[in-house]
Amino acid sequence: MSKIVKRTLEFFELFAEHKRPLSLSEISKLLDIPVSSCHDVLQSLLERGYIYEIGPRAGFYPTLKLDNLAGKIAENDPILMRADMALRELRDEFDESVSLAKATGASATYLIVFEPSHALRFLVHIGGQVRSLYATSAGKAVLGTLGPEEREKVYRTLKLVPFTEHTIKTITELREEVDRGVERGWHLNREESVPSATTLSATFVWNRTSFIITVAGPTFRMEPKLQQVADRMLQICRGLEAPGMEPASGNTRPRRR
């Protein structure tokens, strides 16, 4: 990544983390970059209206310009426009965490996250990466999007470090689990990455790109509705995958791969 681009992004991430105005010296110290380099980036952001000075010696803070631009971008994001309502409905129907990730090779980035009403929840963060290919349902779904040869190459690179007593222990187990998930159309993580947490993931392809929907919650809430969640996810995936169609709703029987 370009150094200038990296530093600019770090500026905004720093303000998001600290949630208060920061002085030039504070920014320089927190980012561990020279004051002169920090000043150059800051001046450019000031000139473009992305940051303003609170007052003399009072520090700097981002304006709403970035937020306004992000809003316009999000409003016209083709995949967000296509999936937003369906995923909100999925969250509302089961009241569990729902996320959407875009798969790229052997990794995936979260694009949408909807939180449930429950205090006990399992969340990922927008922009974050799928945490584990072998211990999460989203990770298994990523593996399922790869061709057989590419999948085998990835298997050879994995070190199956256990997160819980239920984490898959061998590549043979993982291979069988991923193949089973591909066959039925959805992947399962039953307390393999986090104790007492169960997640389900299913994929759809749109514009020649694989996307992963995940529903996550405590096992005691997820277990009784496991198949119901899986069927509904498959139904939504097939609707999102169909060109020119809205996600399926109602009692239409989901079509399995």
Residue 159: per-residue pLDDT: 94
Count CB-CB contacts under 10 A for residue 74: 13
Looking at the structure, tell me whether residues 162 and 46 fall in a common domain: no
Separation of alpha carbons 165 and 87, rounded Å: 31
255 within some domain: no
> How far, in Å, are 175, 212, 213, 230 from residue 233 at the CA level?
23, 10, 7, 5
> What separation in angstroms does the CA of 136 have from each of 58, 141, 189, 191?
45, 9, 5, 9
- Let me know whether 27 and 152 are in one domain: no
- Residues 161, 52 share a domain: no
Residue 69 has what pLDDT? 85
Whether 129 maps to a domain, the answer reads yes
Cross-strand bridge partners of residue 100: 112, 213
pTM above 0.85, yes or no: no
CATH code, domain carrying 32: 1.10.10.10
In 3D, which of 114, 105, 254, 86 has the Cα closest to residue 185? Answer: 254
Residues 161, 39 share a domain: no
Residue at 256 is within a domain: no
Asked if 95 and 119 sit in the same domain, the reply is: yes
**Whether residue 61 is found in the same domain as residue 85:** no
Q: Are residues 189 and 124 in the same domain?
A: yes
Segment-wise mean pLDDT, segments of 10 residues, the chain, 257 residues: 82 92 92 89 91 88 87 69 88 95 92 88 84 94 95 95 96 96 96 95 90 96 96 93 51 35
What is the H or E stretch that residue 210 is in?
A: strand 209-218
Judge if 8 and 135 occupy the same domain: no
Q: What is the domain range of residue 109? A: 77-241
- My answer on whether 191 and 129 are in the same domain is yes
Clarify whether residues 107 and 213 are in a common domain.
yes
Is residue 98 located within the same domain as residue 164?
Answer: yes
Within this chain, do residues 198 and 107 fall inside the same structural domain, yes or no?
A: yes
Specify the number of domains making up the chain: 2
Report the SS3 class of residue 137: helix
Query: C-alpha angle 86/89/93, rounded to 5°?
Result: 140
Ramachandran bin of 161, using left for φ above 0, alpha for ψ from -120 to 50, beta for the remaining angles:
beta
d(CA 112, CA 131): 16
